[in-house]
Amino acid sequence: MESIDAKLTHAIMACLFAALISIGAYIAIPIPGTPVPIVLQNMFIILAGFILGPWWGLASIIFYLILGVAGMPVFSGGTGGLVKFAGPTGGYLLGYIPAIVVFGLISKAGKNTWYFNIIAGIVGMAAVYVFGVARLKAVLGVDWTKAIATGLIPFIPGDIAKIVIAAFLTPPILKAIRHIEQQSNDV
């Protein structure tokens, strides 16, 4: 059972990651031929799962999505609103929910080692792609080949880079967090 201090720390970190995910959504690079941009928010979502674990990571994603549904401009390109879920990128947003649980569960099972984090990132991003490409196909009315060509293939190199960066950033970030927690406990 978590102490009140630990719960407060995790809640604050979940809010911090929701903010980082929102900021990452503003860093969007459009790709010709697809309505799905390259965004940095995925890396912050992956980090949230690795650092916060499955359940506090899920809290950060739910908070982020609620902000977006409420109309805050936190989705890619500074957009928001429930209508984003009906559009071609709505499946990617929904895919973040199972993905963050996968990121957190596999990462924690592997004790946040970089190689388990890479596996967690690949499996979790596969969940994002399943939801995202299926929604893209439905909204655009294209076949699977076209949906995969526009909603998956162009993003694989960038997402692999984000997964690797997040995998290697996680251990030192967790070490810094433990150090800060230790310092606050000593005071």
Torsion region of 78: left, alpha or beta (phi above 0 gives left; psi -120 to 50 gives alpha): left
Q: Which of residues 109 and 38 earns the better pLDDT score? A: 109
pLDDT tens-place string over residues 78-127: 899 999 999 999 999 999 999 999 999 999 999 999 999 999 999 999 99
DSSP string, 49-71: HHHHHHHHHHHHHHHHHHHHHTT
Say if residues 80 and 74 touch (Cβ distance below 8 Å). yes
Higher local confidence (pLDDT), 4 or 166: 166
pLDDT at 29: 83
Give the pLDDT band of residue 27 (cuts 50, 70, 90).
confident
pLDDT at 180 over 90: no
Of the candidate ranges 14-23, 37-46, 141-150, the one whose mean pLDDT is the lowest: 37-46
- Round the CA-based radius of gyration of the chain to a whole number and report it: 17
Contact 61, 98 (CB under 8 A): no
Q: Produce one character per residue of 102-137: b if its CB has 16 or more CB atoms within 10 Å, e if not.
A: bbbbbbeebebebebbbbbbeebbebbbebbbbbbb
Q: Which CATH number fits domain 4-176: 3.10.580.10, 1.10.1760.20, 1.10.10.10, 2.70.150.10?
A: 1.10.1760.20
